[in-house]
Structures are given as structure tokens and as C-alpha cells.
Structure 1
Amino acid sequence: MPSWGLIGLLLLLLVKDAAFSDDCGALWVSLTVSPLVTTNPPRSLHVSWGNADPLPGDWVGLLNDSSALQSPLSSTEVVESSGVLDTRLQAPVLDSSSLPFTRQCLGYWAVYVRNNSTVLNSTCLGTQPTWMEEMKDEISSKKMWELFLPGTHDSGSYKLYRPKATETLVVKYSINQEDDVLTQLVLGVRYIDLRVGYYSSTEELWWVNHGVARMRPLSKLLDSVRVFLNNTREIVILDVQEFPIGFSSWNLTHSKLVQYLQSQLEYLLASPALGWNATLGELWSHGNRLILSYDVEEVVKNTSILWQSVQQKWGDQRSMDGLYTYLDGVSLTPPSGRPTAAMAQLTPNAWGVLTDQFGGLRAMAATVSHNISQNYRNAWGRHANVVAVDFLLSTSIVDVALMWNRRRTRNITCT
């Protein structure tokens, strides 16, 4: 059997594009990262597959850049049409300062192999910093609410994983993401869910919050958005949805926040005069590509920089069955005239947090992430617009969104 080496990796790159097949029943593989840090190893790489018609000897496995097919890092025989392999190998920790603004794989590949020599499908743990621009000819005539846009929930509530880090009760129930906002954008996210607190007695007045928990200065998140937009031609929605602390002087505080956002972002802001019915081509032609939406209608009406907010669909569910029922209902109605965000995560209640009933947000994400990816790969993806998730890499929502966007540009509905 020939060694794969560089030639093999180039072939795998070609096969990766086959993962976005327009064939609704095509074989697929995905590579995700467990959000759990309490297992051995923490943040294990998971290989999933589906729509397989396995023959004796078929297998799925994990390779790294120097591997040959005859020595996968982890593998399992395929005997069913779908499944998940926990490779027991730890995912790399991503550093946004070292991620380029070009698409790349990050050292790990998932493959589906037949006869121990033929790769039927593959994918990699990789970035998608320019997917909109790469699809520009296909999607320029589309509106933002006609695309499938990957998003993150509580985007600024992140904490980078560190070995042996202690997770207090507050940390377990306030951290929704593991990658900073710049990394999220480089990975393919185009919807940032932002909640802002105002603290008049601190040097930094504006903070990113998760409820009443103060996470980090808002300036850090805005820096990430600026860096990304200055290095790409992508279009991003920054959606300000909640104001949990410091907005008792309602009109005055909102006015101050809008002035601050304008001072930090003005040269990037797309004009709300374009409206949600503008096509991506029109947004690109006007130059500015940051849509700043705001969930207070009265404030939006009295400014020249704010867009009407994205309509968040939040089920407030604590079980997969409850979340499935809620999102299944949301998926039946396509958005029209304004983006809609399916908030695709479980939500603890106060008693569950106090008693640690759910094991933290990481454990809750681990319960649903695989099913969320599967359902949006299938029927839910047909009408999906924004889908916002916890612990982004625990899902394959970016790859799924790109697959559905390609189908939509070709009017393939997969009914």
C-alpha cells in the first residue's frame, strides 16, 4: 500500500469538498470536540458518520498530518449506518493570535475508508474565515435571512481551556464558549450574541455579561470583531440582546452605550437604511460589513447606526426531548423579512444551578451537541437561518451551514 504523506493529504483536501455534496443522502463524516473537561482525556476528539451503507471491513478513523491509512490514531469498524467514535485523543487548544485568515486544517482528519485503501469521505478540524467571500458569486443575491448562518450563544462568555483548571459553580454555569470571539469568527461564525452590563464605578464602564456575571471588558470583544473584519471581506451580525446590569437610568444608559459602540465601530458599520431586505451583494457594494442590531426598538428608531434585532427563538428547555420539540416547531417556519436565531442549547433553572443538578453548561452541551448537529444536517436545516450554539466545536454547525447554503443556491430542498 503506498504511503499517503503529502499526496494523501492533498487527496484528502479534494475529498473534503465532497463532504458538501448536494446529494441529500450522501455519506458524511464529521470531527468535533467534546466540551467536557472532567474526562480522561478532556476535550476528546469525536468522529461521527452517517448515511453509510457499510460493507465488511469499512472503518472510520482519525489521522494526523503525518499518518498513513495503515496507522490511524484511532479507528472503529463500521457496522451501522451512523455512529460516533470517541477517539480518546485530546483536541488542540486554539490560539487566535496564531490563526491565519485563510482556510486551513488544524492537524486532524476524520476519514471513512473502504477496503482499507479507498477514502469515501473525509473532513478535518479546520477554519472557515472566508466562506462568504468564497461563495460570493453564489450568495450575492441572497438576503441575510435567506442563508444558514452559524452563530454562538453568549458569544463573549468564553474561558479558554487550561489543564488542571478548577471549575467553580459560577464558572460551570456562566461559561458558554471555549474559544474567544476572534477564534469563533475564524472558525466560521457570522452571528455574535452579545449581552452588555454597565458598571459606573469601574475603570471599564462597559462589560460583556452572562446574566449578572461580569465576564470581560466589552472593548476586548469589539477589538476581536474589528481585527476580523479588517482582515476579511466577510459580513458579520453583532446582535446586542440583553442589558442585565446598570440600565436603571434606561434612556440615558442606552444612549451612552450607543455612543460608545459608534465611537468604536463606526467605520465598519453597515447602514441600517439598507434594511434586512438588502442582498449580500448590496452590503458588499456599500463597503461596510458589520450589522449592529439592538434589541430595544425605541433605541433603534432614534439612531442612525442600529438595525432591528435578530428574533431569538429560545425554548428555555432542560432536556433533549424538550429542546427537540421546541426547535422542531421553530424549524417548520422559514424566516421572512428579518433574521431569526434558533438558540440551540439547554438552559438550567436557578435551583438546578444551586444544586449543580446538570453538571454545568459543558455537561449540558455534551448532552445535546451531537443531536443538534444531526437534526440541522437533516430536516431542520431546510429553513434554518441563524443557529446559535454553546461550545461551538462540540457541534458541526459550521460545516452543516455551508452544506445547506450550497444546496440553497442550487434550489435543492431535500424534501
Structure 2
Amino acid sequence: MFQLFVLSVFIVLTCVDDNLCLGDDTECGRVHLTVSSLEDTYLELNWITNCGSLNDVIPEYILLSSKNVRDRYEDSNVLLKVKFSDYPTGYYRSKVRFGEPWLPGNWEYNENLTKADPGPHCFPYWISSIKGHQIIDSRCLAIQPTWMSDNSKTIGNNRIGSMFIPGTHNSGSFGGAPTILENYVLNQDRSVWTQLVFGIRYLDFRIGYYEKNGFYINHDLFMITKINPILKEIKKFVELAPKEVIVVDFHRFPYPTNFSYNLHKKFTDLVYQELGNYALPTKDLQVGKGPSLNEIWARNKNLIICYADRATVRANYWLWNPMQQFWGNTKRVPELKRFLAKSITDHRLTINPMWALMAELTPSPIDFVLRTNNLRKLADDVNRHVTKWIRDEWGKQVNVVASDYFLGNDLINIAININSRNGT
């Protein structure tokens, strides 16, 4: 173990907040942590390797530690040290499990919770890039429950249709499925509450109705979990974080196949009962790129609810028109990238100022039969690439980007960075 003393540390990258450490996202040696999309939930070390400028300080080592090495290296409890040059892709999967730890900052869900701490909050996992006695970059794995509020001065003028909004695909499909099906119907492994606390701001839901059981989250025809507790979690979050603008997209109603107007009425009555007080009315807002965050905050309504049935939208002033999703329907990474790139170029404004790239891979029916290419594996295949596509190529061109097993990418931190830059 090489020695590094705090008095000799030279900070190469200056951070406004060590929890975020957001600077130039393409700078040589910048680091971030992700969580494996596979069931092991191993921590993954990621770093930027495009080092070619004369000003670049090229790291020698990447560290995983339980404390920030900027504070005091000898007490940082180094868990892992890998040589930068040994991993030219800038990725290393550790054997350190993340699991499902308690959410810091008093953000663990409780229906009686009345206050939680604003700002980012770190888990005891830090990644750092090191050269000699220099700390090039250091960042923790953190929740970002109030990132819009935290950055309100720089992002307030951004319009909702031109922002980069990190989201999840099939957000309610995180648990409750039979074991034999879960690898093919579950797209997330964290609750909707946890998704919001980490910083997800777009939720994608499919709804089914069952005469004896009521309304459920569905993955196509598969019944997953009841919608009522999820609505309560969304309500609690918007109460605790009133400047976080959340987009809820009720995008499909797959069961029954003849989802009637009366069922839509019954469902929207349920949604309004829980969320109606926080829903942003659509009057004069669904034009151009939509309202700015400042305009939304001025109305004290921070929940945008999109709905896939136009007749129901016309009957409810608080519902937004359906949002267009671009879904590649492929299990191959190169094909998905080509499809998403074409969608960015070809998409046009519709009746909703927002639009979504569904940045996930999809298994084929034969995969289910042969038990291959399950959703966890496909998310593991693509999530690292999605981080690079958005960070390095498309960040200023996209609106909503939804992913599977979202902790396997760094889209939340990238969104904070890009939106802050676009607003200055």
C-alpha cells in the first residue's frame, strides 16, 4: 500500500461539493460508482480513459474506500485498489456487495415521515483516482433526493421539454412477481420511493385492473403489485421535496385488453384522490418546450401526470397528453444505439412537450423459453454504454431517458451536471 498524506495532497479537480464532484464529465480520470444490475449487486468502479491532452493527469490507481480519501487517506479504509492501465475500458466489477442499505439523511420510507434532510447524502463507498500523491477525482455513491432544489439557481429557467430527465422503465416492476417469472418481468430492483430518493424524476407505469383485486402495476399481461402503495410513496415524496418536479407517465393499460372509459374514470378518480392536490394543470403549458422549472415552482404544483388515453385527458384538466416513447425492441447493444441516435434526430414535437428514449434491451420470446438474456443480464450488457452515450454524445439533445436497473448507470449525476450547464 503506497503512502499518501493529507498535507501532501494536491487537488487536481476542484469540487463545489465533494458529494457530487461534478466538473467536466469528459475529463481524464473522472470516476463514478455504479451497482451491478445482476443479483449480486456488486459495486462497479468506472472511470474515464480518454486521456490524450497535454494537460491530462493520467491516474495510476483507482481506489474503492469506505471514506473520502480527500479527508484523511490513512483513515479512509481502502477496500480495493486496481491499476488504471490494467483495465483500458475504464470498468472494474468488485466483490463488494451493495445490497439494500438503509437510505441516509432520514430518507428511509415511513408513512409518518414529516421531514428529511435536503441535499446529497453518501453511502460509505467512495471511488478515487490517484497519481502519486495527487487525488485526481473522488466521488461517493449517493442519494440525490433534492437535486432540482439544490441547483434551482442554475436550472430554474430550463424548460421541462428541453431538460435531461433521468427515468426508469416499468418503474413499478420491482418486486412481487413469481420467482420463475421475475427475471423476465421485473425491470427494477428498488422501490419507486427509493428511485425517487436516488434522483429519478420520470416514472413509467403500465396499469391492469382485476375485478377481485383492483388496480395493479402490470408488465404487459403479468400482474406485479398493487398501485395504491406506490401512489402513497409518490405523495409522501412530493410533500417532503416540494421543488422536485416528478413526471408520472401512465403509459399503457394492458389488462383487460378492452380497458374501458369507465375503468379509466375509476382509475383517475383513485389517482386524483392521492395526487390531485400536487398535479400541475395543463392549461397553456403543453406548448413548445413546455414550462420552465421556475414557472412550475411558482404554481406550487410539482407533479406532471401524463396519461395514455386522450378521451380521459380531455375530461380531466390535471392530466397531460400522452408522452411519446422511443423503444428499440432489440437485445443487441449496437442496434439499440443506432435506433436511439435516429430517434434523437428524427423525433418531432407532439401534443406533449416531453418525449422519452427507452434506453434498455428487450429479450425475445425464445429467450424466455430457453431462459437466456433475462432482463438483469440485458441491463448489465447496456447500462455502462448508456452512461457513455448520454455523457459523451447526446446529453444536450435528449429529454427523458429511462433505463432498467438504474443503479447500473450514472444518468442521475449526468443530468445534474448537464442541466446545470444548460441553465447558466
What is the TM-score of this pair, normalised by structure 2?
A: 0.86
Determine the structure 2 residue equivalent to 1:340.
Answer: 355
The partner residue of 1:331 within 336, 340, 344 is: 344
Change over 3 Å in CA distance of 1:208–1:101 after alignment to 2: farther
Determine the structure 2 residue equivalent to 1:246.
Answer: 256
Q: Is the counterpart of residue 146 in structure 1 residue 153 in structure 2?
A: no
The partner residue of 2:281 within 271, 274, 277 is: 271
In the alignment, the residues of structure 2 paired with residue 307 and residue 191 of structure 1 have an alpha-carbon distance, to the nearest angstrom, of 14
In the alignment, the residues of structure 1 paired with residue 336 and residue 163 of structure 2 have an alpha-carbon distance, to the nearest angstrom, of 23
In the alignment, the residues of structure 2 paired with residue 284 and residue 66 of structure 1 have an alpha-carbon distance, to the nearest angstrom, of 35
TM-fit CA distance, 1:16: 3.8
Change over 3 Å in CA distance of 1:230–1:357 after alignment to 2: same
The partner residue of 2:142 within 103, 126, 129 is: 126
CA contact (8 A) 1:19 1:29 kept: no
Change over 3 Å in CA distance of 1:18–1:191 after alignment to 2: closer
TM-fit CA distance, 1:294: 0.4
The partner residue of 1:392 within 398, 406, 423 is: 406
In the alignment, the residues of structure 1 paired with residue 220 and residue 167 of structure 2 have an alpha-carbon distance, to the nearest angstrom, of 19
Between 246-255 and 395-404, the greater mean CA deviation after superposition: 246-255
Determine the structure 1 residue equivalent to 2:34.
Answer: 32
Q: Is the counterpart of residue 375 in structure 1 residue 389 in structure 2?
A: yes
SS in 2 for 1:288: coil
The partner residue of 2:296 within 283, 286, 299 is: 283
CA contact (8 A) 2:158 2:419 kept: no
Which amino acid is the alignment partner of residue 300 of structure 2? G
Which amino acid is the alignment partner of residue 256 of structure 1? K
In the alignment, the residues of structure 1 paired with residue 20 and residue 319 of structure 2 have an alpha-carbon distance, to the nearest angstrom, of 40
Q: Is the counterpart of residue 190 in structure 1 residue 201 in structure 2?
A: yes
Q: Is the counterpart of residue 354 in structure 1 residue 369 in structure 2?
A: yes
CA contact (8 A) 2:184 2:368 kept: yes
**Is there any run of 5+ residues in structure 2 with no aligned partner, and where?**
110-115
Q: Is the counterpart of residue 155 in structure 1 residue 171 in structure 2?
A: yes
Change over 3 Å in CA distance of 1:143–1:77 after alignment to 2: same
Residue deviations 1:145-178 (CA, integer Å, cap 9, x gap): 1111000000000039xxxxx9833111011111
In the alignment, the residues of structure 2 paired with residue 264 and residue 155 of structure 1 have an alpha-carbon distance, to the nearest angstrom, of 18
Which amino acid is the alignment partner of residue 172 of structure 2? G
Q: Is the counterpart of residue 20 in structure 1 residue 22 in structure 2?
A: yes
Which amino acid is the alignment partner of residue 151 of structure 2? M
Q: How does 1:97-246 map to 2 (within 5 A)?
A: 98=108, 100-102=116-118, 103-115=120-132, 117-159=133-175, 168-202=179-213, 205-232=214-241, 233-246=243-256
TM-fit CA distance, 1:335: 6.5
User: What is the root-mean-square deviation of aligned Cα atoms in Å?
Assistant: 2.8
CA contact (8 A) 2:155 2:422 kept: no
SS in 2 for 1:73: strand
Change over 3 Å in CA distance of 1:18–1:152 after alignment to 2: closer
SS in 2 for 1:36: coil
Q: How does 1:395-414 map to 2 (within 5 A)?
A: 395-410=409-424
Between 63-72 and 312-321, the greater mean CA deviation after superposition: 63-72
TM-fit CA distance, 1:274: 4.3
Determine the structure 2 residue equivalent to 1:43.
Answer: 41
Which amino acid is the alignment partner of residue 128 of structure 2? V
SS in 1 for 2:123: strand
In the alignment, the residues of structure 1 paired with residue 128 and residue 175 of structure 2 have an alpha-carbon distance, to the nearest angstrom, of 30
The partner residue of 1:77 within 83, 97, 101 is: 83
Q: Is the counterpart of residue 59 in structure 1 residue 61 in structure 2?
A: yes
Determine the structure 2 residue equivalent to 1:303.
Answer: 316
In the alignment, the residues of structure 1 paired with residue 168 and residue 245 of structure 2 have an alpha-carbon distance, to the nearest angstrom, of 15
Which amino acid is the alignment partner of residue 182 of structure 1? W
TM-fit CA distance, 1:249: 5.1
TM-fit CA distance, 1:352: 1.7
Between 98-107 and 274-283, the greater mean CA deviation after superposition: 98-107
Determine the structure 2 residue equivalent to 1:163.
Answer: none
Between 382-391 and 273-282, the greater mean CA deviation after superposition: 273-282
TM-fit CA distance, 1:260: 1.4
Between 331-340 and 188-197, the greater mean CA deviation after superposition: 331-340
Residue deviations 1:362-409 (CA, integer Å, cap 9, x gap): 111111111111111111212011110000101111111112112212
CA contact (8 A) 1:101 1:130 kept: no
SS in 2 for 1:88: strand
Aligned residues: 395
In the alignment, the residues of structure 1 paired with residue 82 and residue 160 of structure 2 have an alpha-carbon distance, to the nearest angstrom, of 40
CA contact (8 A) 1:311 1:338 kept: no
CA contact (8 A) 2:45 2:127 kept: yes
**Is there any run of 5+ residues in structure 1 with no aligned partner, and where?**
161-165, 411-415
Between 328-337 and 297-306, the greater mean CA deviation after superposition: 328-337
TM-fit CA distance, 1:69: 4.1
Q: Indicate the percent of aligned positions where both proteins have the same amino acid.
A: 25
CA contact (8 A) 2:218 2:225 kept: yes
Which amino acid is the alignment partner of residue 402 of structure 1? I
Change over 3 Å in CA distance of 1:17–1:35 after alignment to 2: closer
CA contact (8 A) 2:278 2:303 kept: yes
TM-fit CA distance, 1:307: 0.4
The partner residue of 2:98 within 91, 97, 114 is: 91
In the alignment, the residues of structure 2 paired with residue 377 and residue 62 of structure 1 have an alpha-carbon distance, to the nearest angstrom, of 22
Between 235-244 and 56-65, the greater mean CA deviation after superposition: 56-65
Residue deviations 1:17-52 (CA, integer Å, cap 9, x gap): 784224754542110011112xxxx11111111134
Change over 3 Å in CA distance of 1:111–1:57 after alignment to 2: closer
CA contact (8 A) 2:154 2:421 kept: no
Determine the structure 1 residue equivalent to 2:266.
Answer: 256
TM-fit CA distance, 1:98: 2.7
Which amino acid is the alignment partner of residue 139 of structure 2? T
